[in-house]
Amino acid sequence: METQKKLRKVLKFQSLLLSQPNQSLNIARIDTLARRLGFKQYEAGDFLLKYPLIFEIYQHPVQRILFCQLTRKAILQIEEEKFALNVQISDAVTCLRKLLRLSNTGRVRLEHVRIARVEFGLPDDFEYSVILKHPQYFRLFDAEETRNKYIEISELEHEHEHDPKVLKDPNLTVCAIERLRERGYRERRVEAEDIRFAFNVKFPPGFKINKYHKIAVWKWQRLPFWSPYEDISGYDLRSIEARKRLEKRGVAMIHELLSITVEKKLTLERIAHFRMAMDLPKKLKVFLLQHQGVFYISTRGNQGKLHTVFLRDAYWKGDLVEPNDLYFARRKLVELIKMSSRKYSGGHEIGDRNFRRDRDYVDRRSFGRQNSDNSYERFAVQDKLPIDGKRGNESHSDSSVSSGSDGEGHEDSDSELDLGFGSGSTCNNSVSEGYISAEDVLVSE
């Protein structure tokens, strides 16, 4: 879910850059515009630097100002996703037809579908490319009471449903859980009575279940219910048994709603948009938490305020069981985010290592320069010492203290080390006879 949080922010920045005329934006304006997307002050610039494989910062050749644009890899990923959307237009039409059949009135508000168009695999212009291009399936109209646009099943579609001569699509009225039961019956040879009305229940790790809860789950699995595509307006729903069946039908309704999405997940807020049309319970979160074996609810988004509902039987070890091309195209953006995060963290480590190495190099240079200056000063003092023996001994003792800072060695060896004489005999003679100047040495030679 941490990756999903990063993905939402990246998509916001991508839409911001793509909305610009040249698909690039001045760095000075990014901080102001990013606050509308939910970023804090001075957070947008650091966020762009974290993902160098997605966002590129360059200098304008004429204005000499820093601009931000999408990298070539990010543009290729967007083009691949658009291509997958255009190829799967027929799947998008089927998805919208099934969504309308899940409604008890056969109509859904257009704004609610537009908000969840990415999850359903619909293009941005689905109102034209999906609805208006297929008048035999859909009809778009304005409601007289609220003046909101609605999508409903066309009259021609209703006529085809009641006409026995017209060949009907069997996938429109078959639920995903029914196909899953059939597959389990054929592959695992499970008894038909045990899986006739059962769901694939997978409890989360660490979930403790006692024997009484096991009995209740066993009874609930055998409880019959109406199909989400079945019209229940003619049934009497006042009995306790009918209410239990209606509750299980609500589980099947949400299961089918999640199964027609691309990634088999949907936020709780977007599920609530279809609550009235699908006769779902009012307290959706409490209702979903009662069935943790069928759904997984994640709250790690927007500081715990965003709830994402996953379909458990559609995932295996974090990946979809039945992926499609659109899912693979979107996963490439997730891979770019992960690779950019590694590159950003690795770059910081390399930068810190280089900084430490440069700092140590500077310290060594300054330490060597300081020692060379001190040795030169001592050599200059030693060069012009007086011939007085008493004062020479005092000077020699001072020089030996200053030069013997290492704490070991005799006076002779220290004098030889500081003055740089090749042999120790000349130094020892000069010490025994008293210090003389360099001029006297030259005259005597």
Residue 348: predicted pLDDT: 45
Residue 105: predicted pLDDT: 87
Splitting the chain (445 residues) into consecutive groups of 10 residues, what average pLDDT does each group show? 82 90 88 84 86 90 88 94 92 92 91 94 92 90 83 74 60 86 78 80 83 90 90 84 91 94 93 92 91 86 75 89 91 90 54 40 44 44 44 43 40 38 39 40 39
CA 390/CA 397 separation, integer angstroms = 11
Site of tokens 């799947």: 91
User: So where are the chain's domains?
Assistant: 2-71, 89-173, 176-323, 352-444
Give tens-digit pLDDT for 248-257: 999 999 999 9
Give 330's Cβ-side CA count (13 Å radius). Answer: 19
Phi then psi for residue 317, to 5 deg, are 55, 40
CA 1/CA 117 separation, integer angstroms = 21
Structure tokens given for 358 = 């440069």
Residue 165: predicted pLDDT: 52
In sequence order, what are the residues at sequence separation of 6 or more whose Cβ sits closer than 8 angstroms to the Cβ of residue 228? 102, 175, 249, 252, 253, 256, 278
Max Cα–Cα distance, the chain, nearest Å: 134
Cβ atoms of 274 and 257 within 8 Å: the answer is: yes
Give 356's Cβ-side CA count (13 Å radius). Answer: 5
Give tens-digit pLDDT for 392-423: 444 444 434 343 444 444 444 343 333 333 34
Residue 207: predicted pLDDT: 81
Question: 167-177 burial, b if ≥16 CB within 10 A, otherwise e?
Answer: eeeeeeeebbb
CA 103/CA 270 separation, integer angstroms = 15
Answer yes or no: CATH 3.30.420 is held by domain 2-71. Answer: yes
